[in-house]
Amino acid sequence: MIGEAVAVLHARDPTMSGTRGKAVLETANTVVLLSSKGRRLTVQKKGTVFLLSPSGTVVAGDDITGRLEDRLRERKR
C-alpha cells in the first residue's frame, strides 16, 4: 500500500470519506496519506474501506490491521 495512490471510499469518521492521497506510512492501526496540497492525513484502518489506484483494488482496513511485517510473515507460512 505504501507508495500507492489511495482514496478512502468509506470511513467511520465521516470527515475522512472521500479523502485521497499517496500512502506514505503504514502503522499497525493507521495509514498516513500525503494529500495533493502536501498535508499529512492520518486515517484509521479499522472500519475504513480503501481504493488503491490505478489497480482499482478495494481493500477493507479491517483486513490489513496489524503491523506490515507481521502480515508478511504470516503470508510466507
Could you tell me the domains of the chain?
A: 5-76 (2.30.30.210)
Considering only CA atoms, which of 8, 31, 40, 34 is closest in space to residue 21? 34
Instruction: Determine contact, residues 30/15, Cβ cutoff 8 Å.
Output: no
Residues of the chain falling short of pLDDT 70: 71, 75-77
What would the grid cell of residue 70 be? 507481521
CA-to-CA distance for 43 and 29, rounded, in angstroms? Answer: 9
